[in-house]
């Protein structure tokens, strides 16, 4: 009887150490961009990779603005920009049209010069601002809105 009682704790210790803990495999995606010296338009900091919320002002029943910065440079010529489609937020059948400004230029679906060749040559930092257009009836319809602002930037020889 004594032998079997002593064998039990020894068996538990051997059995417990025979089971290995499963390893945990982790990975981190790392990205990096080195822009060309000839031409780039990049966000200042990493805001462009995160959803941007247009802030609601309940006192005024209107929206604030989304404001960030872009850095741009072109040793080739002026920098132009345009929207790939009309910027709009939607919630079901309801929509809120947006204004998109880069620097001092309001972007549209047709190309506009954002920086002259002289401004673009040394590189510069400029504001990027999104605001909501007030609806024709003056009132925003309640809802959960979302949308995508798609832009294209180009440089060309002067």
Q: Give tens-digit pLDDT for 20-35.
A: 688 887 888 887 777 6
Query: Three-state SS for 120?
Result: helix
- Contact between 40 and 114 (Cβ < 8 Å): no
Q: For residue 72, what are the contacts with CB-CB under 8 A and spacing of at least 6?
A: 40, 41, 42, 79, 114, 115, 120, 123, 124, 125, 126, 153
Q: What does the pLDDT average to over 85-111?
A: 96
Q: pLDDT of 103-147, one tens digit each? A: 999 999 999 999 999 999 999 999 999 999 999 999 999 999 999
Q: Of 94, 93, 109, nearest to 149 (Cα)?
A: 109
**Phi, psi (5° rounding) for residue 5?**
-70, -35
Per-residue pLDDT, 17: 52
Per-residue pLDDT, 67: 97
Statement: residue 11 has pLDDT above 90: no
Statement: residue 18 has pLDDT above 60: no
- Contact between 93 and 142 (Cβ < 8 Å): no
Per-residue pLDDT, 23: 84
Q: Of 109, 115, 110, nearest to 40 (Cα)?
A: 115
Per-residue pLDDT, 9: 53
Domain segments of the chain as ranges: 39-155
Q: Using pLDDT thresholds of 50, 70 and 90, give the confidence band for residue 7.
A: low
Per-residue pLDDT, 107: 97
Segment among 31-35, 61-65, 87-91 with least mean pLDDT: 31-35
Enter the pTM of the model: 0.76
Name the CATH code of domain 39-155 (choices 2.60.40.2040, 3.30.1330.20, 3.30.420.40, 3.10.110.10). 2.60.40.2040
């Amino acid at each position: 009887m004594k032998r079997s009682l002593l064998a039990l704790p020894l068996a538990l210790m051997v059995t417990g150490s025979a089971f290995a803990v499963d390893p945990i495999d982790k990975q981190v995606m790392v990205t990096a961009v080195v822009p060309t010296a000839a031409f780039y338009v990049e966000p200042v900091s990493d805001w462009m990779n995160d959803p941007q919320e247009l802030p609601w002002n309940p006192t005024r029943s209107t929206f604030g603005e989304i404001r960030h910065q872009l850095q741009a440079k072109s040793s080739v010529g002026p920098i132009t920009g345009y929207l790939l489609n009309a910027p709009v937020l939607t919630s079901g059948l309801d929509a809120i049209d947006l204004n998109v400004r880069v620097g001092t230029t309001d972007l549209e679906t047709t190309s506009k010069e954002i920086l002259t060749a002289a401004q673009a040559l040394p590189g510069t930092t400029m504001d990027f601002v999104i605001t909501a257009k007030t609806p024709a009836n003056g009132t925003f319809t309640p809802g959960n809105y979302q949308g995508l602002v798609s832009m294209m930037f180009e440089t060309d020889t002067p």
